[in-house]
Amino acid sequence: MKTIGIIGTGIMGTQLTCFFLSRGFKVIVKTHTENNTEEQIKKIGARINKYYPGGIPLNNIVITSDFKKLRDVDLVIDCIIENLTAKQELFQILEKTCSRKTIFASNTSSISINKIALPTDRLKQTVVIHFFNPVEKMHLVEINAGAITTVETIDKAVELVKSLGKTPIVMRNIPGGIVNRLLFASINEAGYMLEETGLTIKNIDAAMKLGLNHPMGLLELADFIGLDTVYNILTTFNSTIAGFKPPARIFEQMIEQGKLGRKTGSGFYEYKKE
Protein backbone atom coordinates (compact mmCIF):
# COMPACT_ATOMS: atom_id res chain seq x y z
CA MET A 1 0.00 0.00 0.00
CA LYS A 2 1.24 3.47 -0.91
CA THR A 3 -1.75 5.82 -0.79
CA ILE A 4 -4.14 6.12 2.16
CA GLY A 5 -7.43 8.01 2.28
CA ILE A 6 -8.49 9.51 5.61
CA ILE A 7 -12.08 10.65 6.07
CA GLY A 8 -12.36 13.22 8.86
CA THR A 9 -10.12 15.84 10.44
CA GLY A 10 -10.93 15.36 14.12
CA ILE A 11 -8.45 14.04 16.67
CA MET A 12 -8.08 10.53 15.22
CA GLY A 13 -8.26 11.60 11.58
CA THR A 14 -5.55 14.20 12.18
CA GLN A 15 -3.31 11.82 14.13
CA LEU A 16 -3.64 9.07 11.52
CA THR A 17 -2.86 11.55 8.75
CA CYS A 18 0.36 12.53 10.50
CA PHE A 19 1.27 8.97 11.39
CA PHE A 20 0.95 7.71 7.81
CA LEU A 21 2.80 10.76 6.46
CA SER A 22 5.65 10.08 8.90
CA ARG A 23 5.90 6.54 7.52
CA GLY A 24 6.25 7.73 3.93
CA PHE A 25 2.70 7.21 2.69
CA LYS A 26 0.82 9.61 0.46
CA VAL A 27 -2.33 10.71 2.30
CA ILE A 28 -5.51 12.14 0.83
CA VAL A 29 -7.59 13.82 3.54
CA LYS A 30 -11.32 14.20 2.85
CA THR A 31 -12.85 16.99 4.90
CA HIS A 32 -16.44 17.33 6.06
CA THR A 33 -16.86 20.71 4.34
CA GLU A 34 -18.37 20.47 0.88
CA ASN A 35 -16.29 23.28 -0.63
CA ASN A 36 -13.09 24.17 1.18
CA THR A 37 -11.91 27.75 1.13
CA GLU A 38 -8.20 28.47 1.23
CA GLU A 39 -8.64 29.64 4.82
CA GLN A 40 -10.30 26.36 5.85
CA ILE A 41 -7.52 24.33 4.26
CA LYS A 42 -4.95 26.42 6.14
CA LYS A 43 -6.76 25.74 9.42
CA ILE A 44 -6.78 21.99 8.76
CA GLY A 45 -3.10 22.13 7.76
CA ALA A 46 -2.28 23.98 10.99
CA ARG A 47 -4.12 21.33 13.02
CA ILE A 48 -2.14 18.58 11.29
CA ASN A 49 1.11 20.46 11.88
CA LYS A 50 0.48 20.35 15.64
CA TYR A 51 1.02 16.59 15.49
CA TYR A 52 3.76 16.64 12.87
CA PRO A 53 7.11 18.06 14.06
CA GLY A 54 8.89 20.09 11.43
CA GLY A 55 5.82 20.65 9.28
CA ILE A 56 3.87 18.32 7.02
CA PRO A 57 5.49 17.16 3.75
CA LEU A 58 3.26 19.03 1.30
CA ASN A 59 4.25 16.81 -1.62
CA ASN A 60 2.65 13.80 0.12
CA ILE A 61 -0.66 15.25 1.30
CA VAL A 62 -3.85 16.36 -0.43
CA ILE A 63 -6.61 18.06 1.57
CA THR A 64 -9.85 17.98 -0.37
CA SER A 65 -13.63 18.14 -0.18
CA ASP A 66 -13.94 16.06 -3.37
CA PHE A 67 -14.65 12.35 -2.91
CA LYS A 68 -13.39 11.71 -6.46
CA LYS A 69 -9.83 12.35 -5.28
CA LEU A 70 -10.10 9.09 -3.29
CA ARG A 71 -10.74 6.96 -6.35
CA ASP A 72 -7.36 5.22 -6.52
CA VAL A 73 -6.36 5.00 -2.85
CA ASP A 74 -5.25 1.57 -1.65
CA LEU A 75 -7.04 1.93 1.69
CA VAL A 76 -9.60 4.42 2.98
CA ILE A 77 -10.17 4.83 6.73
CA ASP A 78 -13.39 6.26 8.16
CA CYS A 79 -12.67 8.58 11.12
CA ILE A 80 -16.01 10.40 11.25
CA ILE A 81 -18.47 10.59 14.13
CA GLU A 82 -19.51 7.39 15.91
CA ASN A 83 -22.94 7.22 14.25
CA LEU A 84 -24.20 4.24 12.23
CA THR A 85 -26.32 6.22 9.78
CA ALA A 86 -23.50 8.67 9.04
CA LYS A 87 -21.04 5.85 8.47
CA GLN A 88 -23.44 3.91 6.22
CA GLU A 89 -24.01 7.01 4.11
CA LEU A 90 -20.25 7.54 3.87
CA PHE A 91 -19.60 3.95 2.76
CA GLN A 92 -22.31 4.20 0.10
CA ILE A 93 -20.56 7.26 -1.35
CA LEU A 94 -17.19 5.51 -1.20
CA GLU A 95 -18.67 2.48 -2.98
CA LYS A 96 -19.60 4.72 -5.93
CA THR A 97 -16.31 6.59 -5.85
CA CYS A 98 -13.43 4.23 -5.07
CA SER A 99 -11.95 1.60 -7.37
CA ARG A 100 -12.56 -2.09 -6.78
CA LYS A 101 -9.04 -2.51 -5.39
CA THR A 102 -9.66 -0.14 -2.48
CA ILE A 103 -10.03 -1.68 0.98
CA PHE A 104 -12.68 0.04 3.10
CA ALA A 105 -11.77 0.41 6.77
CA SER A 106 -13.28 2.09 9.79
CA ASN A 107 -11.61 3.24 12.99
CA THR A 108 -14.94 2.76 14.79
CA SER A 109 -14.84 2.18 18.54
CA SER A 110 -18.15 0.39 18.89
CA ILE A 111 -20.17 -0.19 15.70
CA SER A 112 -20.25 -3.52 13.88
CA ILE A 113 -18.48 -3.36 10.53
CA ASN A 114 -21.19 -5.65 9.17
CA LYS A 115 -23.78 -2.94 9.85
CA ILE A 116 -21.62 -0.13 8.47
CA ALA A 117 -20.97 -1.88 5.16
CA LEU A 118 -24.37 -3.57 4.85
CA PRO A 119 -25.86 -1.07 2.32
CA THR A 120 -22.88 -1.63 -0.01
CA ASP A 121 -21.53 -4.55 -2.04
CA ARG A 122 -18.10 -4.22 -0.39
CA LEU A 123 -18.64 -6.39 2.70
CA LYS A 124 -15.84 -8.72 1.64
CA GLN A 125 -13.37 -5.81 1.36
CA THR A 126 -14.34 -4.05 4.60
CA VAL A 127 -12.65 -4.27 7.99
CA VAL A 128 -12.23 -2.36 11.23
CA ILE A 129 -8.63 -1.19 11.68
CA HIS A 130 -8.84 0.36 15.12
CA PHE A 131 -5.92 2.52 16.21
CA PHE A 132 -5.73 3.87 19.76
CA ASN A 133 -5.20 7.41 20.98
CA PRO A 134 -2.46 8.66 20.93
CA VAL A 135 -1.66 6.88 17.67
CA GLU A 136 2.08 7.48 17.79
CA LYS A 137 2.51 5.90 21.23
CA MET A 138 -0.04 3.07 21.37
CA HIS A 139 1.33 -0.20 20.01
CA LEU A 140 -1.90 -2.15 19.59
CA VAL A 141 -4.11 -2.06 16.50
CA GLU A 142 -7.26 -4.20 16.57
CA ILE A 143 -8.27 -5.71 13.24
CA ASN A 144 -11.94 -6.59 13.58
CA ALA A 145 -13.16 -8.41 10.48
CA GLY A 146 -16.77 -8.66 9.39
CA ALA A 147 -18.69 -11.89 8.98
CA ILE A 148 -17.62 -12.31 5.35
CA THR A 149 -14.48 -10.17 5.17
CA THR A 150 -12.05 -12.13 3.00
CA VAL A 151 -8.83 -13.63 4.30
CA GLU A 152 -7.01 -11.61 1.63
CA THR A 153 -8.41 -8.35 3.05
CA ILE A 154 -7.47 -9.35 6.59
CA ASP A 155 -3.96 -10.35 5.51
CA LYS A 156 -3.42 -6.99 3.78
CA ALA A 157 -4.59 -5.17 6.92
CA VAL A 158 -2.23 -7.22 9.08
CA GLU A 159 0.68 -6.61 6.70
CA LEU A 160 0.01 -2.86 6.76
CA VAL A 161 -0.18 -2.69 10.56
CA LYS A 162 3.05 -4.63 10.97
CA SER A 163 4.80 -2.38 8.44
CA LEU A 164 3.86 0.57 10.66
CA GLY A 165 5.64 -0.99 13.63
CA LYS A 166 2.37 -1.78 15.42
CA THR A 167 1.08 -5.06 16.84
CA PRO A 168 -2.15 -6.34 15.27
CA ILE A 169 -4.68 -8.53 17.07
CA VAL A 170 -7.18 -10.10 14.69
CA MET A 171 -10.77 -10.96 15.57
CA ARG A 172 -13.94 -11.48 13.61
CA ASN A 173 -17.22 -9.72 14.26
CA ILE A 174 -16.64 -8.74 17.92
CA PRO A 175 -18.70 -5.59 18.74
CA GLY A 176 -16.30 -2.97 20.08
CA GLY A 177 -13.32 -5.28 19.86
CA ILE A 178 -11.49 -6.49 22.96
CA VAL A 179 -10.20 -3.29 24.52
CA ASN A 180 -13.24 -1.04 24.25
CA ARG A 181 -15.72 -3.71 25.25
CA LEU A 182 -13.82 -4.24 28.49
CA LEU A 183 -12.82 -0.60 28.97
CA PHE A 184 -16.24 0.99 28.52
CA ALA A 185 -17.90 -1.54 30.80
CA SER A 186 -15.40 -0.39 33.44
CA ILE A 187 -15.96 3.32 32.73
CA ASN A 188 -19.71 2.77 32.95
CA GLU A 189 -19.33 0.93 36.26
CA ALA A 190 -17.26 3.84 37.60
CA GLY A 191 -20.19 6.11 36.72
CA TYR A 192 -22.61 3.84 38.59
CA MET A 193 -20.28 3.74 41.61
CA LEU A 194 -20.15 7.52 41.64
CA GLU A 195 -23.95 7.67 41.68
CA GLU A 196 -24.63 4.86 44.14
CA THR A 197 -21.82 4.57 46.68
CA GLY A 198 -20.87 8.03 47.90
CA LEU A 199 -17.29 7.51 46.71
CA THR A 200 -15.59 10.57 45.28
CA ILE A 201 -14.24 10.95 41.76
CA LYS A 202 -10.69 11.16 43.11
CA ASN A 203 -11.06 8.01 45.22
CA ILE A 204 -12.43 5.94 42.33
CA ASP A 205 -9.64 7.09 40.04
CA ALA A 206 -6.93 6.74 42.69
CA ALA A 207 -7.99 3.13 43.33
CA MET A 208 -7.50 2.24 39.65
CA LYS A 209 -4.14 4.01 39.45
CA LEU A 210 -2.73 2.68 42.70
CA GLY A 211 -4.38 -0.74 42.70
CA LEU A 212 -3.98 -1.66 39.02
CA ASN A 213 -1.15 0.68 38.00
CA HIS A 214 -3.32 2.41 35.38
CA PRO A 215 -1.75 5.64 34.09
CA MET A 216 -5.02 7.52 34.65
CA GLY A 217 -8.30 6.81 36.41
CA LEU A 218 -11.41 5.68 34.56
CA LEU A 219 -13.27 8.97 35.03
CA GLU A 220 -10.22 10.97 34.02
CA LEU A 221 -9.98 8.76 30.94
CA ALA A 222 -13.66 9.41 30.18
CA ASP A 223 -12.86 13.13 30.18
CA PHE A 224 -9.96 12.49 27.81
CA ILE A 225 -12.17 10.53 25.39
CA GLY A 226 -15.05 13.03 25.62
CA LEU A 227 -18.17 12.36 27.68
CA ASP A 228 -20.43 12.68 24.63
CA THR A 229 -18.38 10.03 22.84
CA VAL A 230 -18.42 7.82 25.95
CA TYR A 231 -22.20 8.12 26.18
CA ASN A 232 -22.69 7.26 22.49
CA ILE A 233 -20.45 4.20 22.74
CA LEU A 234 -22.16 2.99 25.92
CA THR A 235 -25.55 3.40 24.24
CA THR A 236 -24.37 1.38 21.24
CA PHE A 237 -22.97 -1.41 23.44
CA ASN A 238 -26.17 -1.50 25.51
CA SER A 239 -28.21 -2.06 22.34
CA THR A 240 -25.89 -4.62 20.72
CA ILE A 241 -24.23 -6.64 23.51
CA ALA A 242 -26.39 -8.88 25.68
CA GLY A 243 -26.21 -7.95 29.37
CA PHE A 244 -24.33 -4.68 28.83
CA LYS A 245 -25.69 -2.05 31.22
CA PRO A 246 -27.27 1.17 29.93
CA PRO A 247 -25.14 4.29 30.42
CA ALA A 248 -24.96 5.55 34.00
CA ARG A 249 -27.16 8.65 34.35
CA ILE A 250 -24.19 10.83 35.32
CA PHE A 251 -22.88 10.86 31.73
CA GLU A 252 -26.11 12.20 30.26
CA GLN A 253 -26.44 14.76 33.06
CA MET A 254 -22.96 16.14 32.43
CA ILE A 255 -23.57 16.32 28.68
CA GLU A 256 -26.73 18.35 29.32
CA GLN A 257 -24.59 20.79 31.32
CA GLY A 258 -22.12 21.12 28.44
CA LYS A 259 -19.42 19.32 30.41
CA LEU A 260 -17.82 17.06 27.82
CA GLY A 261 -14.37 16.68 29.37
CA ARG A 262 -11.03 18.07 28.25
CA LYS A 263 -12.31 19.50 24.98
CA THR A 264 -14.73 21.85 26.77
CA GLY A 265 -12.49 22.54 29.75
CA SER A 266 -14.83 20.82 32.21
CA GLY A 267 -15.90 17.26 32.93
CA PHE A 268 -15.25 15.15 35.99
CA TYR A 269 -12.22 17.43 36.35
CA GLU A 270 -11.48 21.01 35.31
CA TYR A 271 -9.02 21.76 32.48
CA LYS A 272 -7.58 24.63 30.52
CA LYS A 273 -9.51 24.79 27.27
CA GLU A 274 -7.55 23.27 24.39
pLDDT per position as a tens digit, 205-231 = 999 999 999 999 999 999 999 999 999
Beta strands 61-64 and 167-172 are unpaired
Q: What is the pTM for the complete model shown? A: 0.89
Residue 274: pLDDT above 60? no
Positions marked catalytic: 109, 130, 142, 180
Instruction: Say if CB 84 and CB 111 are below 8 A apart.
Output: yes
Residue 57: pLDDT above 90? no
Q: What is the model's pLDDT at position 34?
A: 62
Instruction: Say if CB 110 and CB 233 are below 8 A apart.
Output: yes
Residue 101: pLDDT band (50, 70, 90) is: very high
Domain boundaries, the chain: 3-172, 179-264
pLDDT per position as a tens digit, 225-271 = 999 999 999 999 999 999 999 999 999 999 999 999 999 999 999 99
Residue 37: pLDDT above 70? no
Percent of all residues in the chain with a pLDDT value above 70, rounded to a whole number: 97
Average pLDDT over residues 184-203: 97
Residue 20: pLDDT above 80? yes
Q: What is the model's pLDDT at position 56?
A: 72
Q: What is the model's pLDDT at position 65?
A: 87
Q: Where are the alpha helices (DSSP H) in 2-112?
A: 11-22, 38-51, 84-97
69 residue type, one letter: K
- pLDDT greater at residue 53 or residue 24: 24
User: What is the rounded distance in angstroms from the CA atom of residue 91 to the CA atom of residue 88?
Assistant: 5
Domain 179-264 is found in CATH 1.10.10.10 = no
CA atoms 185, 190, 196, 197: torsion sign: positive
Task: Tell which residue, 209, 214, 236, has the closest CA to residue 82.
Answer: 236
The burial of 240, by beta-carbon neighbours within 10 Å (0-12 exposed, 13-18 middle, 19 or more buried), is given as middle
User: What is the rounded distance in angstroms from the CA atom of residue 223 to the CA atom of residue 218?
Assistant: 9
CATH superfamily of 3-172: NAD(P)-binding Rossmann-like Domain (3.40.50.720)
pLDDT per position as a tens digit, 110-136 = 999 999 999 999 999 999 999 998 899
The burial of 136, by beta-carbon neighbours within 10 Å (0-12 exposed, 13-18 middle, 19 or more buried), is given as exposed
Residue 78: pLDDT band (50, 70, 90) is: very high
Does 179-264 match 3-172 at the fold level? no
DSSP 8-state class, residue 263 = G
Instruction: Say if CB 126 and CB 117 are below 8 A apart.
Output: yes
